């Protein structure tokens, strides 16, 4: 004979009054108990979501919070100085909804066809020196004017999500290396295999699921499309060299950084600007990750302007179809940028 085991009473076996009471209690608990504290907020899916996310970040304006964080890193920085830079959001937001602030410094209105130069810092957020240098150059351009007929557009911090973490990261909030996410030739065929084989899946150099998958790299791409820079200056650290892609002949040095063209990478801005677009890209690799002596910043600023005067202005400007400064088939290398 099979042994009968006692079963606990089920919901259906309860008296009707108890069933009604249980259902009412369950409904009350669903409404009254908040979601677990560690439930992840949804990632922004577009500009509207990003703005809503940014609006929840606390008191003060977006720009004030940004300026406090950035100026704390600068030896000469202050909230007032940062706020005086006339930084503009220009429709750029990070994954977490932080604005990608930039500013334009323009020559006098009567200047005919000034050279357009785009300067970018903080693409890698753990390279704070790049942010310091671009902030320093904004101050120099605004205080002293530009010695050349140049329209500067400067964005000190392209990767704010990585910057505003307790421990800064090279990658953005999606874990993507923005300097491997630009739409270079054969990105789909090259970027991921390169990441797997050459970097052995180094998470610090993950190129992303597709080219321009990230709002930050897409914003830089859109700036290039709309501003049409004739020179791009991309600031990094701490390899202590000067790199260059595209026409014309590069500067041999900027300040105490000597030219050393280290190679190209699938998805890098130097590769995209210099090889794909034919726009000269100066890549500055500062010597220290989080410090730039003011004397060095001034020397680089002066040398860059002198080179612009000699090679880009007096030579009649830059043509986008000029021959690249480096063959597209050159072997990429692993370190740098
Ligand atoms: Zn870098």
Q: 27 alpha carbon to ligand 1 midpoint, in Å?
A: 53
Q: Say how far apart CA 68 and CA 64 lie, in whole Å.
A: 6
**Tell me, what's the pLDDT at 183?**
98
Q: 7 alpha carbon to ligand 1 midpoint, in Å?
A: 66
Q: Is the dihedral of CA 245, 251, 257, 260 positive or negative?
A: positive
Summarize the confidence of residues 59-87 as an average pLDDT: 91
For the cut 50, the answer to whether the pLDDT of residue 48 exceeds it is no
Q: 227 alpha carbon to ligand 1 midpoint, in Å?
A: 23
Integer angstrom CA distances of residue 303 from 17, 185, 256: 86, 32, 10
Q: 250 alpha carbon to ligand 1 midpoint, in Å?
A: 20
Q: 127 alpha carbon to ligand 1 midpoint, in Å?
A: 6
Are 309 and 238 in contact by the 8 Å Cβ rule? The answer is no
Least reliable range by pLDDT among 97-101, 208-212, 260-264, 272-276: 260-264
pLDDT in tens, 232-289: 999 999 999 999 999 888 999 999 999 998 788 999 999 999 999 999 999 999 999 9
Q: 333 alpha carbon to ligand 1 midpoint, in Å?
A: 14
Share of the chain above pLDDT 90, in %: 66
Q: 229 alpha carbon to ligand 1 midpoint, in Å?
A: 21
Quick one: 104 exposed, middle or buried, by C-beta within 10 A (0-12, 13-18, 19+)?
A: middle
User: Which of the four pLDDT bands, split at 50, 70 and 90, describes residue 144?
Assistant: confident
Q: 123 alpha carbon to ligand 1 midpoint, in Å?
A: 7
**Tell me, what's the pLDDT at 315?**
61
For the cut 70, the answer to whether the pLDDT of residue 157 exceeds it is yes
Question: Could you give all domains of the chain from N- to C-terminal order, each with its CATH number?
Answer: 45-313 (3.40.630.10)
Q: 47 alpha carbon to ligand 1 midpoint, in Å?
A: 26
Summarize the confidence of residues 115-134 as an average pLDDT: 98
For the cut 90, the answer to whether the pLDDT of residue 10 exceeds it is no
Are 301 and 137 in contact by the 8 Å Cβ rule? The answer is yes
Instruction: Output the average pLDDT for the chain.
Output: 82
CA–chain centroid gap for 75, Å, is 22
Q: Greater confidence, 23 or 299?
A: 299
Run of H or E including 52: helix 47-55
Task: Please give the model's pTM, rounded to 2 decimal places.
Answer: 0.78
**Tell me, what's the pLDDT at 262?**
77
Backbone phi, psi, residue 244, to 5°: -155, 140
Q: Greater confidence, 58 or 200?
A: 200
**Tell me, what's the pLDDT at 269?**
98
Q: 102 alpha carbon to ligand 1 midpoint, in Å?
A: 19
């Amino acid at each position: 004979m099979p042994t009968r085991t006692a079963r606990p009473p089920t919901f259906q076996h309860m008296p009707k009054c108890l069933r009604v009471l249980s259902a009412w209690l369950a409904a009350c608990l669903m409404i009254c108990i908040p979601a677990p504290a560690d439930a992840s907020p949804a990632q922004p899916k577009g500009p509207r979501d990003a703005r809503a996310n940014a609006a929840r970040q606390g008191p003060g304006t977006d720009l004030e919070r940004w300026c406090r964080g950035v100026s704390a890193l600068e030896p000469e920085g202050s909230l007032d100085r940062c706020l005086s830079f006339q930084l503009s959001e220009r429709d750029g937001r990070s994954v977490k909804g932080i604005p990608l602030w930039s500013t334009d410094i323009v020559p006098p209105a009567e200047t005919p066809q000034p050279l357009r130069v785009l300067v970018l810092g903080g693409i890698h957020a753990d390279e704070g020196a790049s942010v310091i240098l671009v902030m320093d150059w904004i101050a120099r351009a605004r205080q002293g004017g530009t010695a050349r007929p140049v329209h500067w557009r400067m964005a000190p911090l392209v990767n704010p999500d990585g910057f505003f973490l307790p421990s800064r990261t090279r990658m953005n909030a999606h874990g993507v290396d923005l300097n491997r996410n630009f739409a270079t030739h054969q990105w789909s065929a090259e970027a991921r295999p390169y990441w797997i084989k050459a970097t052995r899946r180094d998470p610090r150099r993950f190129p992303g699921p597709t080219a321009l998958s990230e709002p930050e790299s897409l914003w830089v791409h859109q700036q290039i499309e709309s501003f049409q820079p004739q020179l791009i200056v991309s600031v990094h650290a701490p390899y202590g060299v000067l790199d260059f892609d595209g026409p014309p002949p590069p500067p041999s040095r900027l300040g105490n950084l000597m030219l050393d063209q280290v190679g190209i990478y699938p998805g890098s801005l130097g590769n995209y600007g210099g090889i794909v677009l034919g726009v000269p890209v100066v890549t500055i690799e500062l010597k220290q990750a989080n410090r730039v002596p003011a004397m060095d910043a001034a020397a680089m600023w002066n040398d860059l302007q002198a080179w612009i005067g000699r090679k880009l202005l007096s030579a009649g400007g830059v043509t986008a179809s000029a021959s690249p400064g480096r063959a597209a088939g050159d072997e990429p290398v692993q370190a740098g940028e």
